[in-house]
Amino acid sequence: MLDTVPARPAGLAARFTRVLFSPWSRLSLLMVLLAAAAACVLLFEPQRLLQDGWPRQLTGAFAVVAFTVAYGLCTVAFVPRPLLNLAAGALFGSQLGLVGALGGTVVGAGVSFGLGRVLGQDALRPLLRGRWLKAADGQLSRHGFRSMLAARLFPGVPFWAANYCASVSRMRWAPFLLATALGSIPNTAAYVVAGARASAPTSPAFLIAMGFIAVTGLAGALVAWFKRHKWSPPREH
């Protein structure tokens, strides 16, 4: 007589698996990972690179690669990119610093996009009921490349917010990463040059870089103000 396997343990295992991999469980895991990353930033203080410099044992191309990876992970943990861009210029100069900063930007954006897509999309998409949320989702889903390119060109959109908004939408990987790489070049280059020339604040390169940063910041603020007033709902009388 053949032994039969009880159905109850199998049913409990299947139920546990469904709960473990449910959209809200994955979203909770994403929140835990981001909180842990932010805690690591507070503990290790990567901004000290501007004061202490890069470790001496890391030199050459390996140092740039290591900085690129560290840059990407720091952006996932909400470290401001302008600070990292300044550090890239101060540590490696204008050319290698720009390579490391742009590489880190793409790495960080890709990691954030992947985390949001795998762990957060299924839970958050059903919540897109508001007018602004639906409009943002539709824009990113239908016109992903040009929307993300504009978000990267104007500094008014937080880097992490653009990453996770794109991950919740139906935007594809290739347009997201390409728009991130191209759109991040101008502002990243300006900050890297400013970091590389910080020891000579009266040099033309430093003044041009700071002027570009100021102009793009003002342009971003004006665009945000215009969008806010254009889409604000009418007041009831």
Tell me the average pLDDT across 146-163. Answer: 87
C-alpha torsion sign, points 41, 73, 97, 56: positive
Tell me the average pLDDT across 129-137. Answer: 61
Average pLDDT, the chain: 80
pLDDT of 153: 87
Cα–Cα distance measured from residue 65 to residue 81, given in angstroms and rounded to the nearest whole number: 17
pLDDT at 92 over 60: yes
Tell me the average pLDDT across 28-46. Answer: 78
pLDDT of 192: 96
Q: Which two tokens stand for residue 157?
A: 């959109």
SS3 70: helix
Domain layout of the chain by residue ranges: 22-42+61-231
What pTM value is reported for the model? 0.78
pLDDT at 53 over 80: no
Cα–Cα distance measured from residue 123 to residue 135, given in angstroms and rounded to the nearest whole number: 19
pLDDT of 237: 46
Lowest mean per-residue pLDDT among 21-30, 99-108, 179-188: 21-30
Asked if residue 148 lies in contact with residue 140, where contact means CB atoms within 8 angstroms, the answer is yes
**What separation, in Å, do the N-terminal and C-terminal C-alpha atoms of the chain show?**
82
Lowest mean per-residue pLDDT among 60-69, 83-92, 119-128, 169-178: 119-128
Lowest mean per-residue pLDDT among 26-30, 73-77, 124-128, 141-145: 124-128
Lowest mean per-residue pLDDT among 59-63, 122-126, 232-236: 232-236
pLDDT at 1 over 70: no
Tell me the average pLDDT across 200-215. Answer: 89
Per the listing, tokens 């254009």 go with: 230
CB count within 10 Å of CB 70 equals 20
For 175-198, the pLDDT digits (tens) are 999 999 999 999 999 999 999 998
Residue 236 DSSP class:
P
pLDDT of 88: 93
Q: Which two tokens stand for residue 9?
A: 């343990």
Lowest mean per-residue pLDDT among 15-19, 142-146, 178-182: 15-19
What percent of the residues of the chain are helix, what percent strand, and what percent coil, each to the nearest 5? 80, 0, 20
Longest Cα pair distance anywhere in the chain, in angstroms?
A: 92
pLDDT tier for residue 72 given thresholds of 50, 70 and 90: very high
Q: Which two tokens stand for residue 163?
A: 């990453």
Lowest mean per-residue pLDDT among 2-16, 55-69, 100-114, 148-162: 2-16
